[in-house]
A and B are shown apart, each in its own frame.
Chain A
Amino acid sequence: MKKLIYISLLLFFAKDVFATIIHVGKEQNIKTIRQALLLAADGDTVLVGSGQYHEQNILINKSIALIGINHPILDGDNKYEIISIKANAVTVEGFKLINSGVSSIEDFAGIKVYNGKDIVIRNNILENTFFGIYIQYGINCLIENNNLTAYSKIEQESGNGIHCWKSDSLRILGNNIIGHRDGIYFEFVKNSIIWRNVSEHNLRYGLHFMFSNDDAYICNVFRDNGAGVAVMFSKGLKMIRNYFEENWGDGAYGLLLKEISDGYIENNVFDRNTAGIFMEGASRIHMEKNQFIDNGWAMQIQASCMEVTVHNNNFKGNTFDVGTNGNLVLNDFNNNYWDKYEGYDINKDKLGDVPYRPVSMYAMIIERNPPAMILFRSLMASLLDKTEKVLPSLTPENLKDNHPLMKPLAL
């Protein structure tokens, strides 16, 4: 008898604990999501059946889970922002959002978080949206496994894929972003992680950091973006195991570091970029175990950089290993493998006995006089390079690797 009382008591309170599930769909009583949202209370789940929904703007201002079954299509009819979130603890999962509005005054997005905590945006497909997923004032949000595709050809008419502004503790995991302005954009975002995303064919940057401190991006692929990846005015960033590939063109870099300090760059691959890494005003950056393969310039390190340490990296098949614009060198290169190294190793400690100078004479000439590129690899240019190796005059005296590796590192 006692047991029965307990159970009935439990069931009585469970009424509040178990949230209700509201079904939306063609066959259901509730046909539109808007209607469902009016009925829902905090903690409820709204399940949306497959089909196409033209609901203008869907505003979520309750802590609910909005879940699509078989990716129901939410169409913004090229006029509206599709989902706006103005509450905490909201989940949006399993939708296909297409055709958001485009505006140069308002930042219309597929899904926009105006201000919220603990928001989950998962497994959605976004096509032809202006901004894709827009987080502003978000805390502890998860953006996971979304596919974002945009088709605009002009920078002014396209927005960023995942745009984060003034947020904290975001997790951006496993998203694919194609054809936006910037694939992922961070401005004033701290303590966040970007992990296993693929960002390619974006018009400007694959990833764009501004004023965002103490973030990490790990195991991402940035391929064939208009200008590669830009990381600016930030500190305490960790960049680990990313791929930077095929960013070609004037002013296109695998990774652009501008006014960055206290960065840690490890185990990344820079493959076929016009410039693998371009550094300007970077300080206290530690780079190790990275691979630079078949780039035009593996690294361009301007004289404004200081305390950059480049240790144990592989440089293979790059047209120029390092480029610079002055004679001041406050950085440290050591124990890297350079495929152009011509020294020897008498004591067999696997380190070359003569230093390697990664800046070639001709790289300096091209820096000063770009059209001289036309004479690159001519007999004349090789002669200049050889004489410079014997008597350095134009290349910076201190930019050298004192103990280059004889064999590439296995990375």
Chain B
Amino acid sequence: MKKIIKYVIIDILRNKIVLAYTAFLLLISISIFNLEDNSAKGLLSLLNIILIIVPLVSLLFPAIYVYNSSEFLELLVSQPLKRKTIWLSLFWGLAVSMSCAFFVGAGIPILLFQATATGFMMLGAGLILSVIFVALAMLAAVIARDKAKGIGVVILLWLYFSVIFDGLILFILFQFADYPLEKMMVAATAFNPIDLSRILILLKMDVAALMGYTGAIFKDFFGTQMGLIISFLVLVIWMIIPTWLSLRKFKHKDL
């Protein structure tokens, strides 16, 4: 398993796209922190990158990578190796390289310029989101045999998690404005890892505003030790379930 992971990582490095992604993140985060006179404001711009760019790249690149290495996968399957090992190695290879890219590209600037609670929360959220979206990309890639379809699905997934889901929430909020929806909203965030990480970051960044009327309800849940643990568990489930589903699918897939 270690050998395959090593091979996958070396292959990804040779590919240079992930290196370019790292450089891009590094450039943006350093320029953000240097341009803004107020580094807290820099953190805000970085939030958008984490919530938009990181999921997008973590979805697209792994999906394409899985499609392109179909021959390599066939080769591996013909060897005396368990399919589980092969698939998980591929997952770990991709997950490690995407999170490393994020850590070097955005994490190090955060640690340098904003080593605060907000910064750490952002770093954690970025790393977890990287892994979650690698898992989702692999699920999409294993379900759709056709490459174009698979990448299309991945783009739709990104759209869904970053815009459509929030649009739906907003729609529900306004349609059912007369009902107490606060608790439901807390539950709803569990269905979108981007929202969940965003709220965890907001709790550190906009504490004052969140102490207002409804904010307090979110704060009461997410701000407590228990809420934090539950949120992280939910995020971990978001990593495990797509991986497990894709693994099940891959085991029986006719390559």
Contact = CB atoms under 8 A, between A and B. Distances in A.
Partners in one complex: yes
Contact of A319 (B198, B209, B216): B209
B177 interface: yes
A397 B106 CA distance: 39
B52 A379 contact: yes
Nearest to A273: B208
A250 B207 CA distance: 12
Contact of B210 (A316, A373, A375): A373
B213 A370 contact: yes
B90 interface: no
Interface string B181-216: 110011011000011001100100011111111111
B173 A371 contact: yes
Interface residues of A, number: 34
Interface stretch (B18-26, B96-104, B149-157, B159-167): B159-167
Interface size class of B (residues with CB under 8 A): 35 or more
A373 B215 contact: yes
Interface stretch (A78-86, A108-116, A291-299): A291-299
A220 to B, nearest CB: 21
Of listed A252, A316, A373, A375, residue having the most chain B CB within 10 A:
A373
Interface in A271-302: 272-275, 294-297
A51 B251 CA distance: 86
Contacts of B199: 374
Given A369-B174, A369-B177, A379 B208 contact: no
A251 B41 CA distance: 27
A344 interface: no
Contact of B38 (A252, A316, A375, A380): A316
Contact of A250 (B47, B48, B211): B211
A381 B209 CA distance: 16
B228 interface: no
Contact of B209 (A297, A368, A369): A297
A307 interface: no
B51 A379 contact: yes
Contacts of B189: 374
Interface in A358-408: 368-383
B169 interface: yes
B226 interface: no
B152 to A, nearest CB: 20
Given A378-B166, A378-B198, A382-B48, A372 B208 contact: no
Contacts of B218: 373-374
A291 to B, nearest CB: 14
Interface string A303-329: 000000000000011011000000000
Contacts of A372: 170, 173
B40 interface: yes
Contact of B211 (A249, A339, A371, A375): A249
Given A294-B208, A295-B208, A297-B209, A376 B202 contact: yes
Given A296-B209, A380-B166, A373 B38 contact: no
A185 interface: no
Nearest to B166: A380
Contacts, number: 100
Given A317-B40, A379-B52, A274 B208 contact: yes
Contacts of B216: 249-250
Contacts of B41: 317, 339
Contacts of A209: none
Given A369-B174, A374-B195, A379-B51, A250 B212 contact: yes
B181 A375 contact: no
A370 B163 contact: no
A248 interface: yes
Contacts of A297: 209, 212
A250 B213 contact: yes
Contacts of A272: 208
A169 to B, nearest CB: 38
B181 A274 contact: no
Contacts of A378: 51, 162, 166, 194-195, 198
B212 A317 contact: no
Nearest to A294: B208
A339 B41 CA distance: 9
A236 to B, nearest CB: 31
Contacts of A252: 211
B38 A339 contact: yes
Contacts of B185: 371, 374
A383 B48 CA distance: 12
B166 A377 contact: no
Interface in B77-100: none
Contacts of A339: 38, 41
Contacts of B38: 316-317, 339
A375 B166 CA distance: 7
B206 A376 contact: yes
Interface of A: 248-252, 272-275, 294-297, 316-317, 319-320, 339, 368-383
Given A368-B177, A372-B173, 13 more contacts: A250-B212, A274-B211, A294-B208, A295-B208, A295-B209, A297-B209, A317-B41, A370-B212, A370-B214, A371-B181, A378-B166, A378-B198, A380-B163
Interface of B: 38, 40-41, 44, 47-48, 51-52, 162-163, 166-167, 169-170, 173-174, 177, 181-182, 185-186, 188-189, 194-195, 198-199, 202, 206-216, 218
10 contacts: A248-B208, A274-B208, A274-B209, A274-B211, A297-B209, A374-B195, A375-B166, A377-B206, A379-B51, A382-B48
A-B pairs, 5 with minimum CB distance: A296-B209, A380-B166, A296-B208, A319-B209, A370-B214
